[in-house]
Amino acid sequence: MTSGKKIGLALGVVAALGLAGMGAFYSLTGDAGNGSCAAAGAATRRMEPLVRGEVAAVTLHARPQAAPPLAFTGPDGKPATLAAMKGRTLLVNLWATWCAPCLKEMPALDALQKEMGGPDFAVVAINIDTRNLDKPKAWLAENRIAALPFHADPQAATFQLLRTAHKVEGMPVSLIVDKAGCELGLIQGPADWASADAKALIGAAIGRP
């Protein structure tokens, strides 16, 4: 092989690797092609006219992407991942006891889970307290938050991942993820998840009539 051909081949490999790296980056940030989440656009179109009232701050994705690879512990204390929860539409919420708006919306999240939770939907509330790790469970018990299974991420890595992927800066933050693991939308800040507006939006995400 001549030196010119070798150089051309090497440049081709570098270019291919560069494109692959860009694809991996944009897959995380949600700026690239939506691949296997193309069908999720039907859900966001159903949801679009329902982004109003108590859930007017929800941002829907025109091109839904795979949800970030969040990892945390489940109610049994064992490792869990968002990817392993495919099969149900999810409202994924990050909260902490030091976050007053988070605490304010917890009763509404609990009510939403109690009313709409089932085989096709669940609220996944992930606590990200990094100190006094007994405090979150104690707060839930004191405030009679009983319908929400306890998920925790004492390293707060889930928040850091969302901060990188979506430029999230504050708490609480919630993601709406479909049964295939595609992120349909998100909201930074609290919402009244027990409201008629929220139930209608979640119903559209699930595909309930």
| pLDDT tens per residue, range 57-114 | 999 999 999 999 999 999 999 999 999 999 999 999 999 999 999 999 999 999 999 9
52 and 102 belong to one structural domain: yes
Q: Of all residues in the chain, what percent carry a pLDDT higher than 90?
A: 76
CB 205 within 8 A of CB 89: yes
d(CA 65, CA 68): 9
What total of structural domains would you count in the chain? 2
106 and 10 belong to one structural domain: no
122 and 172 belong to one structural domain: yes
Exposure on the CB side of residue 137, measured as CA atoms within 13 A: 13
- Confidence grade of residue 185 (pLDDT, cut at 50, 70, 90): very high
CB 108 within 8 A of CB 195: yes
**pLDDT higher than threshold 70 for residue 175:** yes
Would you give the DSSP letter of residue 117? -
22 and 37 belong to one structural domain: no
11 and 105 belong to one structural domain: no
Would you give the DSSP letter of residue 149? P
Task: Give the pLDDT score at 166.
Answer: 80
Cis (ω within 30 of 0) for the bond into 69? no
Domain span at residue 4 reads: 1-29
Give the amino acid at 164: T
Task: Give the pLDDT score at 63.
Answer: 92
Give the amino acid at 45: R
